[in-house]
Amino acid sequence: MNFSTLDFIVFIGYCLLIIVFGIWISREKKGHTKNSTDYFLASKSLPWWAIGASLIASNISAEQFIGMSGSGFAIGLGIASYEFMAAATLIIVAKFFLPIYIKEGIFTMPQFLKLRYDDRIRTSLAVFWIMLYIFVNLTTVLYLSALALSVVLDVSTTYAIIGLAVVAVSYSIYGGLKAVAWTDVIQVIFLIFGGLVTTYLALDAVSGGTGPFNGMSMLLEKAPEKFDMILSEENPFYKDLPGMTVLFGGMWIANISYWGFNQYIVQRALAAKSVKEVQWGLVFAAFLKLLIPLVVVIPGIAAFALNAEISRYDEAYPWLLGNLVPTGLKGLAFAALIAAALSSLSSMMNSTATIFTMDIYKSHLKKDATENQMVMVGRLVSLTAIIIAVLVAEPLLGGEEQIFQFIQKYTGYVSPGIVVLFLFGLFWKRATSNAALATAIASVPFSIIIDITFPTMPFLDQMGLVFLLLSALMVGYSLFENNVRGKYPENTVYIEKGLFKTDSIFNVTAMAIILVLAAIYIIFW
């Protein structure tokens, strides 16, 4: 794809804007030294709109722009269920999970597990999340973003990976979550506006130049099979999206695990000024979620209708950028893609550092660590994490066809166990620490056994089955300890009366979002 001088100016100008703004916003008042709350929780000062914007910017990365567009090309609108169900999940998390987290005053999700169970659960999950963020999340964002960068700028994927890492490091390591969250506000504007430019041009191309609304109508006519939200068993991609499971099965496990118990998502909420601010922020993010399929899925379907000449599904979005976006707008559209990548990279780096610092370094390696030492360790861990991801990204992911589906399947091996640990920890007082440890240990083996035993079963259905088995293990083991051994949990979460009460603005907005979701599924059933 040929970049004009203007495109280069827009793209490079965007990168410089993010770096300069990130460094500027990271400044501390004269005489104040950055402490752990400043670095890891942005001084607990984020307003609702910054929380919502940061959540979406951190969530929408190359795995959506590249990976989900690729799945849109292959599967169709059905893949948008991950986005639509996320909107409903955010409402649940805002109302029932976040008030408890904020009341407990935690920094990390492993820290909550220690408060509810014991340090064994905290440490094992901390190590797991660090590995997941480095070897799955950071690597996929780097690789998919570099794939597009290499096509656009005609550079090798290796150099593109290194370039992305350098830009992310330049502004996020010094400022911590404050720099990440406030640059996300800028990035989500570029992300949505720039993404809509590509969608507009793709739909206009489908219509032969008669406008995006005609393009959407023609898209429905040319590729009606791509607009089924609930796939039939005859659909070749039924194994990826197995029918009603998207509404009543394993997809809930994936979404609740990601939005309710995922450090780099929840960390923004923990940095809120108050419970009301975080609830408004999450419902704002839920509203934005309704728009995301228009930015990341519809372009993939449009590429299918335009008979894009691609060798793999994940090349659909780069193909659109290269063939449809005119000179002068390529820089803006590409800046949207890079905005998504940078926000996700910086978020994952910061969350990896937060977990290591608070749950391993402070908890086990140096219990008397000073505030300055914790901030320094956080910066070193962020740098180490991104360096490792740079080294393994291309060898690990170079042969995958649909990387978005790769991510969903292999994170699905652990998601059921995480959901069981937290749900029972939050809402069932009789769950014991030993039962939680057994559940954590059994999560991956159960998932592997189910995968081997039922190889043709869709992975979302496998997740649902594993969730039920792990729930039975948690309940059975806990009741055995309660009733036979006379052992009851020492640590419980106390839910005061009125903790889940929400104001009228949240309630009305949440109801509106639920009605829109219902309408979408009724129309595109």
* pLDDT per residue of the chain (525 residues) written in tens, 0 to 9: 567 788 888 888 888 888 888 888 877 777 667 788 888 887 788 899 989 988 888 788 766 777 788 888 888 888 888 899 999 999 999 999 999 999 888 889 999 999 999 899 999 989 988 988 898 888 888 887 887 777 667 778 888 889 889 988 887 888 788 888 888 888 788 778 878 888 999 999 988 888 889 989 998 888 888 888 888 888 877 877 777 777 777 889 989 998 999 888 888 888 888 889 999 999 999 999 998 898 889 999 999 988 888 877 878 887 887 788 787 777 777 777 777 778 888 888 989 999 999 999 998 888 888 988 998 999 999 999 999 999 988 877 765 555 555 566 667 788 899 999 999 999 999 999 999 999 999 998 999 999 899 988 888 888 899 999 999 999 999 999 988 777 777 778 888 888 889 999 999 999 999 999 999 888 887
Domain boundaries, the chain: 5-26+40-399+503-523, 412-494
pLDDT of residue 42: 78
DSSP string, 86-149: HHHHHHHIIIIIHHHHHHHT-SSHHHHHHHHS-HHHHHHHHHHHHHHIIIIIIHHHHHHHHHHH
CATH of domain 5-26+40-399+503-523: 1.20.1730.10
The structure's pTM equals 0.88
Residue 225 is classified by DSSP as G
pLDDT at 409: 62
- Token pair for residue 138? 């950071």
Task: Give the closest residue to 197 by CA, choosing from 336, 93, 319, 69.
Answer: 336
Write out the DSSP string of 160-197: HHHHHHHHHHHHHHHHTHHHHHHHHHHHHHHHHHHHHH
Please report where in the chains the tokens 């590249």 appear, as a residue: 66
Q: How far apart are CA 367 and CA 320, in angstroms?
A: 52
Q: Note the pLDDT of residue 2.
A: 65
Contact 168, 349 (CB under 8 A): yes
Q: What is the pLDDT of residue 341?
A: 79
Residue-wise DSSP of 285-339: HHHHHHHHHHHHTHHHHHHHHTT---SSGGGHHHHHHHHTSPTTTHHHHHHHHHH
- What's the number of CA atoms in the CB half-sphere (13 Å) around residue 247? 13
- 244 HSE (CA, 13 A, CB side): 1
Q: Which residues contact 73 (CB under 8 A, 6 or more apart)?
A: 300, 301, 303, 304, 308, 310, 313, 316
pLDDT, residue 155, reads 79
Residues 48 and 284 sit within 8 Å (Cβ to Cβ): yes
Contact partners, residue 229, CB within 8 Å, separation at least 6: 77, 78, 80, 81, 246, 520, 521, 524, 525
Report the pLDDT value the prediction gives residue 403, as an integer from 0 to 100: 56
Q: Give the long-range contacts of residues 325-330, CB within 8 A, separation 24 or more.
A: 325/197, 325/198, 325/201, 326/201, 327/2, 327/4, 327/6, 327/7, 328/4, 328/6, 328/7, 328/10, 329/7, 329/197, 329/201, 330/1, 330/3, 330/4, 330/7, 330/152
